[in-house]
Amino acid sequence: MTKFYISTMKQRLLATLVIAAFYLLPLMAQEHISSPNGKIQLSVGLKSGRPYYELKYHDRNIFNTSFLGYKLSDGNLDSDFKIISCTRTTKDETWQQVWGEEEFVKNHYNELTIHLQQKKGLKRKLDIVFRIFDDGIGFRYIIPEQKTLNTIIINEEETQFALAHDAEAWSIPSNHTEYFEGIYRKSLISTKDTVCTPLTIEYEPDIYLSIHEAALNDYASLNLTPRGNTLTSALTPWSNGIKVYGNKNLMSPWRTVIVVQKATDLLLSRIMLNLNDPCKIEDTSWIKPGKYIGIWWSIHKKKNTWEMGPNHGATTANVKRYIDFAARHGFSGILAEGWNPGWGNGEKITYQKSYPDFNIEEVNQYARSKGVRFIGHMESWGNSKLIETEMDSVFRWFHSMDMNTVKTGYVGHKFDGKELSKSQYGIRHYRKVIETAARYHIMINNHEPAMPTGIQRTWPNLMTQEGVRGQEYNAWDKKGGNPPEHTATLPYTRGLAGPTDFTPAIFNFSEVIKGTRPHSTLAKQLAEFVIIYSPLQMAADEIENYEGQPALTFIENCPTTWSQMVVPNGKIGQYITIARKERNGDSWFLGSLTDNKARELDVRLDFLDADKKYTAIIYEDGPEADFETNPMAMSIRQIKVDCNSTLHLKLARSGGAAVQLKVASKL
Amino acid sequence: MTKFYISTMKQRLLATLVIAAFYLLPLMAQEHISSPNGKIQLSVGLKSGRPYYELKYHDRNIFNTSFLGYKLSDGNLDSDFKIISCTRTTKDETWQQVWGEEEFVKNHYNELTIHLQQKKGLKRKLDIVFRIFDDGIGFRYIIPEQKTLNTIIINEEETQFALAHDAEAWSIPSNHTEYFEGIYRKSLISTKDTVCTPLTIEYEPDIYLSIHEAALNDYASLNLTPRGNTLTSALTPWSNGIKVYGNKNLMSPWRTVIVVQKATDLLLSRIMLNLNDPCKIEDTSWIKPGKYIGIWWSIHKKKNTWEMGPNHGATTANVKRYIDFAARHGFSGILAEGWNPGWGNGEKITYQKSYPDFNIEEVNQYARSKGVRFIGHMESWGNSKLIETEMDSVFRWFHSMDMNTVKTGYVGHKFDGKELSKSQYGIRHYRKVIETAARYHIMINNHEPAMPTGIQRTWPNLMTQEGVRGQEYNAWDKKGGNPPEHTATLPYTRGLAGPTDFTPAIFNFSEVIKGTRPHSTLAKQLAEFVIIYSPLQMAADEIENYEGQPALTFIENCPTTWSQMVVPNGKIGQYITIARKERNGDSWFLGSLTDNKARELDVRLDFLDADKKYTAIIYEDGPEADFETNPMAMSIRQIKVDCNSTLHLKLARSGGAAVQLKVASKL
C-alpha cells in the first residue's frame, strides 16, 4: 500500500517538472559546453533575442554575459534572434608543424555551433562556432549565404569580453601608425584606451588570460575598447569607415581567449595555430628555417647608409665579407639593406636595379659558392600596389638566382597613401604576397606587418614578422632605447602572436647615440636568441663584433626549429626561462633573462631524457656583470647534469643565461 | 828626489813584466773574448798543443778547460797545434723571419776565429770560430782545404763541455731508434748515459744552460757522453762506424750553449737561428703558416684504420666532412693519413695511387672550392731512397693540384734498412727533400726527423717537425700516455730546437685504452696550442669533439706566426706561461700550464701597449676542474685589462689557462 503511494507520487512529480521545463525553454534558451578536461565551462544563449556567451574556469567567472553580433550597413545582426538548432562535435588530433616551437601540436576541443535566425524583418541567419580547449576558447561568426543578403558590408562587429572584474593587463595602444612597435604597458583594463591584441591579463593570481584572434585572412584586424570591465571589439576601418567587405557569405577570424593558471603556460597554448587552416603547400621541402646576419645594425647606427655614398653598406665588397663570415659560422642567410636605388629620398624604389657599387649577380653567385643564400629585400614605403605589380617578376627573378628568402617592408603611414596596413585592405595585400611567394618557393620575412594570427600554419613560407619594437630602437631611440623589462614582457604578449623578427644578439654595447644602446648584458643577448622565437633568427650585430667571441659558439649551435619546449619559470615583465629541444637531435637549448633586477634562479632539468647524461655549457653573466657598467662580463662554464639536476643561474641586472645541454660523452 | 825614485821603480817594474810576458806567451797562448754586454767571457787557447776553451758567466766558471778537436781516419786533429793567427769581428744586425715566434731577430755577437796548424807531421790546419752573444755562445770547426788532406773522414769529434761542477739536467737518452720520442728526465749529469741535445741544465739557481747545435746540414747529429762533469761529443755514426765524410774541406755545424739567468730566458735565445744561413728562397710568398685538422687521432684511437676496410678513415666522404669543418672554422689545411695504399702490411707504399674509396682529385677540388688545402702525406717506412726517387714527380703532381703542404714520415728503425736517420746519411736525405720541395712550392711537416737545428731559417718551407713524444702516446701508450709534467718540460728542452708538431687540442678525454688518455684538462689543451710552437699547428681531435665547444673559438682565433713573445713565468717541468703577439695585429695570446700540481699564478700584463685598453677573454679551468676526475670543467670569462693589470690564473691539477687579449672597444 505505502509502496504504491510513493511510486505514484514520483510519477506525478516527474510529470510536473517535464511540463515546467517545456514552458520555460523559449525564455531562457541556453546551451552549455565544457573543455575536454571539464575545467572551462562555456554557456551560450540568447537574452531577449541577443546572442551572448559566459565563461567560467574552475567554476569561477571569467566572462559574465558577453553579447555578440554585427552591425551591417543595411541592418543589425545582433538581436531579435531565435536558436534554430545547435550542432556539437569533438575533435582530438595531433598534427605536425613544418617548423616551429614544437614539432607535434595537439588539437583537442569540443565544438558547439549555434544556428540563429532573426525572428522578424529579413529573418537573417547567423551562425556562431565555439571551440573549447583545455587551455582556452575560440569562436567565430559565420554569415551564411541567404536570399536577403547580397553583399555583406560590416559597419561594426560587437563582440564583448565582459570580465567579471577589473584586472591588470599588458597592452600596446591601438595606434594605427606605429606598426605595433610600442612598449607593452601594465595597467588596469578599465583605465585603458583602445588596445591591440594580444591583450594579456593577470586576471587573478592563479588565472591568466590572453585575448587575440586567429586566421585573419580577409577581414579587419581586431582591437579592443574597454568600458569598465567590458572589452568590445573595434575593427580597423577602411578609409571610408567601413570595417569589412564580404561577399554573399562571410566567415570571421576566430576570437581567441587563452585561459591558464600560470603566466608561463600562456606560451604553451597552441589555440591560435589550431584555429588556422592546415598547410596549403604540398611540397614544403624548400622551406628551411635558419639563421642570418646582415648589413643592418651598422645602418641603424648611422655608421653605414642605405643610400649610395662614402659609407654605403651594401657594396659588393662589404657583402662578400659578410658572406665569408656567414659561411664560416654556419649562417644560412645574409641580408643587405640598401642595395637597390630609391632609398628615402622620394625616388621611386626599384627591386631589379642595383646601385652601381653593388652587383647582385656576383654577390649571389659568391654566396651560393659558399653555401649561403643572399636574402632579397623589398621595401615599399607603404606602396603596396607597387609590390603587387612587381612581385611576380621579382620573385621569379630571385627564384631563377636560387634565392629563397625575401624581407618585405612597409615603412610609411598608410598603404598607397590611404589605407591602414592592418585594415582589410592591408590584410588582403599581405596574404597575396605570401601566396605569390609560395608559388616561387620564396620564404617571407615581413616587416611592418599586421599583428600575426597564425596563418604560417596554412602558409609556412611566412617565416617570421616584425610587428614588434625591435633591436633598432636601441640604436636611435631618443628616449634611450628599449628598457630592460622589454624582452621580459614580449614572450607573454607579442610573442603569443607568433614568430618575431626582433633581431637579437648584439655583442657590442658601445653607446650609439648618447644614452642609447642595448640595455642588456652579453649573456642576455644570447638568452634572447632562444627566448624570442623566430624560424629565421638574425644575429644582428656587425661581424667585427662577433670575431673572437666564444659566446658566438652558442649562436652557431642554436637551431631555429624545435621539437619541444618548456617554460620552467617566469613572471610577466620580470623574468622568464625557456628550454627548447632541437628538432633533429638530442640537445636542449635554454635561455633565461631578467629585467633590471638581478636574480638567482633554480631551474630543475626534469625535462631531460631520464636515461641520458648531459654536458651543460653555460653562458652566464660574470660576477662583475651589470648591464650599465659591465655588459660584456660573461662567464662560460661546463658541467655534467642529468634529469635530476638543478641549474642555479645568477642573472645580473638586465642579465641572462644561455645553456646548451648536449648528450655527454663518457668523460 | 822621492818623485824620481818612484817613477824609475815603476819603469823597472814595467820592463820586467813586459819581458816575463814575452817569454811566457808561447807556453800559455790564450785569447779572450766577451759577449757584447761583457757578461760572458770566453778564453781560447792551447794547452801543450791541444786547443781548448773556457767559459765564465758573471765571472763564475761554467766550463773549465774543455778540449776541442777531431780524430780523422788518417790522423788526429786534436793536438800538436800552434796558433798561427786570430781574427776578430763584431756583428750587430736585426733580420726578419718569414714566420716564427718573433718577427725580428737581433743577431749581436763578437766573433773570434783562431787559425791553428799542427807543428809536426802533415802540419794540418784547423780553424775554430767562436761567436759570443749576450745569451750564450756558438762555435764551429772549419777544416780548410790543404794539400795534406784529400778527403776528410771523421772518426770522432772530440768536443768537450767541461762543467765546473755537476748539475741536474733534463735529457732524453741517445736512443737511435726512438725518433727523440722520449720523456725528458731530470738527473745529475754525472749519472747519465749518452744523451741527445738539446741538453738543458739547471747549473745554479741563477744560471741555466742548454747545449745543442745549429745548422746541421751535412754532418752527423750531436750526442753528448758524460764522464763526471765533462760532456764529450758523440756523433751519430754511419753503419760502418764512420761519423762524417767530408770533401776537401769541411765546416761543422755550430755547437751552441745558451747561458742565461732564468730558465724562462732559455726560450728567448735566438742563437740557434742566428747561426743558420739566411733564407735561400727568394720568393717566400707561397709559404703560409696556418692551422690544420685531420683524420689522424681517430686512427691512433683505433676507431679508424689507415688501411682500407670497414673503418677506413681517409674516405672521400669522411675527408669532405673534415673539409667542411675546416672551412667553417678557419683551418687552412686538412690532413688525411692512409689514403694511399701500402700501409703497414709490407706492401710497397705508393704516393700517386689511392685506395678505391678515396678520390684525391675530387677531395682536393672540394677543398680548394672551400678555400682549404688538402695536405699530402708521404710515409716511407724509413725507405728514404723511395722518397728520393719519387719526390720530384709527387711534388710536381701535388703542385699541379695546388696542394702546398706535405707531411713526410719515416716510421722504421733504419733508413733503407741500414743507416740511422740522424746520421749524416739521414741528414743529407732530409735536406734534399726540403730543397726539392721548395722548388715545387711545397711546405714540409717532417715526422721522425733528425733533431731540428734551425735550418728553417735557410729553408723556411721546412715548417714543423716531430722529433717529440707527441699526443699519439696518449692514445695507445701502454704505460699510460704522457705524464702531466710532459708539456711543462718540452718548452725548456725539445722546444728550444724549434717548431714542434706535437698535435695538441684534444677536447674529449674519454679513455682510449684502459688508463690511457690525455692527462690534461681542456684549458690545458688550449694553453698547449700557444705554448708549443708550430707554424703549422694541428687541432688534433676528431671534429665531432669540437662541435658546440666555445673553447674552439680560442683555437679559431689563435694565429701560428708572431711578432713578439714574452715568458712571464715558469719552472722547468713544473709550469710555464708564454704570451705571444700576433704578427699582423694587436692581439696577444697567452698560454699557461702546470704539471700535476694545481697552482695560482699572477701574470703581470706589462707587455701590453701602454696606450691601449684590452679585453681579456680568459679560458681557464673551472672551480671543479681536475685532469683525472673532471677535465672538461672549463670557465671562460671576459674582463677589461691594460698594461698595469695583473691576471690571477688558477690552474687545476695538470690544468691550464689560455687568454686572448684584444684591443677593446669603448664599453
Active-site entry in B101, B102, B202, B472: B472
pLDDT of residue A18: 52
For residue A550, list chain B residues with Cβ-Cβ distance below 8 A: 550-551, 553-554, 617, 619, 636
Mean pLDDT estimate for chain B: 94
Contact A631 B667 (CB under 8 A): yes
Interchain contact A513–B (C-beta under 8 A): no
Which triple of cell numbers denotes residue B40?
760572458
Mean pLDDT estimate for chain A: 94
pLDDT at B8 over 70: no
Binned at pLDDT 50, 70 and 90, residue A483 comes out as: very high
Comparing CA positions, the residue from B108, B112, B116 lying closest to residue B89 is B112
Comparing CA positions, the residue from A236, A221, A235, A216 lying closest to residue A276 is A216
The residues in A 10-39 lying below 8 A from B, measured between CB atoms, are: none
Which triple of cell numbers denotes residue A197?
591584441
Interchain contact A303–B (C-beta under 8 A): no
pLDDT of residue A348: 77
Architecture category of domain B479-667 in CATH: Alpha-Beta Barrel (3.20)
Q: What are the pLDDT digits (tens) for A38-76?
A: 999 999 999 999 999 999 999 999 999 999 999 999 999
pLDDT at A11 over 80: no
Binned at pLDDT 50, 70 and 90, residue B342 comes out as: confident
Which triple of cell numbers denotes residue B341?
695504399
Query: What percent of chain A has a predicted confidence (pLDDT) above 90?
Result: 90
Average pLDDT over residues A353-373: 96
Cβ atoms within 10 Å, residue A585? 11
pLDDT at B17 over 90: no
CATH for A30-274, among 2.60.120.10, 1.10.760.10, 3.40.50.261, 2.70.98.10?
2.70.98.10
Active site residue B472: yes
Which triple of cell numbers denotes residue A185?
604597458
Interchain contact A660–B (C-beta under 8 A): yes
Comparing CB atoms, the residue among B330, B630, B635 nearest residue A328 is B330
Binned at pLDDT 50, 70 and 90, residue B534 comes out as: very high
Contact A330 B329 (CB under 8 A): no
Average pLDDT over residues B148-173: 97
Contact A547 B557 (CB under 8 A): yes
Binned at pLDDT 50, 70 and 90, residue B667 comes out as: very low
pLDDT of residue B25: 47
Query: What percent of chain A has a predicted confidence (pLDDT) above 70?
Result: 94
pLDDT of residue A26: 46
Range from A496-505, A616-625, B21-30, B72-81 carrying the lowest mean pLDDT = B21-30
Interchain contact A639–B (C-beta under 8 A): yes
Binned at pLDDT 50, 70 and 90, residue B350 comes out as: confident
Interchain contact B617–A (C-beta under 8 A): yes
Q: What are the pLDDT digits (tens) for B475-499?
A: 999 888 999 999 999 999 999 999 9
- B28 vs A113: which has the higher pLDDT: A113
Interchain contact B544–A (C-beta under 8 A): no
Cβ atoms within 10 Å, residue B494? 27
Interchain contact B662–A (C-beta under 8 A): yes
Query: What percent of chain B has a predicted confidence (pLDDT) above 90?
Result: 90
Task: Answer whether B277-467 and B479-667 agree in fold.
Answer: yes
pLDDT at A420 over 90: yes
pLDDT of residue B665: 64
pLDDT of residue B11: 61
Whole-angstrom CA distances from B373 to A96, A423, B289, B325, B366 are 43, 57, 12, 13, 9
pLDDT of residue B479: 85
Chain centroid offset of residue A101 CA:
12
Q: What is the DSSP letter of B484?
A: T
Which stretch of DSSP H or E encloses residue B323?
helix B316-329
Topology (CATH level 3) of domain A277-467:
TIM Barrel (3.20.20)
pLDDT at A23 over 50: no
ipTM associated with this complex:
0.80
Interchain contact B526–A (C-beta under 8 A): no
Contact B545 A637 (CB under 8 A): no
- B346 vs B74: which has the higher pLDDT: B74
For residue B617, list chain A residues with Cβ-Cβ distance below 8 A: 548-550
In this structure, what are the phi and psi dihedrals at residue B350, rounded to the nearest 5 degrees? -125, 150
pLDDT at B183 over 50: yes
pLDDT of residue B478: 86
Contact A636 B632 (CB under 8 A): no
Confirm if A401 and A371 have CB atoms less than 8 A apart. Answer: no
DSSP, collapsed to helix, strand or coil, labels residue A22 as helix
pLDDT at A514 over 90: no
Average pLDDT over residues A476-491: 94
Label residue B141 left, alpha or beta by phi (over 0 means left) and psi (-120 to 50 means alpha). beta
Comparing CB atoms, the residue among B327, B545, B632 nearest residue A327 is B327
Binned at pLDDT 50, 70 and 90, residue B9 comes out as: low
Binned at pLDDT 50, 70 and 90, residue B240 comes out as: very high
Domain range annotation of chain B: 30-274, 277-467, 479-667
Instruction: Report whether the peptide linkage leading into residue B198 is cis, meaning its omega lies within 30 degrees of zero.
Output: yes
The residues of A that are catalytic are 472
The residues in A 91-120 lying below 8 A from B, measured between CB atoms, are: none
Q: What are the pLDDT digits (tens) for A143-197?
A: 999 999 989 999 999 999 999 999 999 999 997 668 999 999 999 999 999 999 9
pLDDT at A393 over 90: yes
Whole-angstrom CA distances from B74 to B124, B150, B251 are 11, 11, 18
Q: How far apart are CA A448 and CA A139, in angstroms?
A: 27
pLDDT at B345 over 70: no
Residue of chain B nearest A634, judged by CA positions: B637
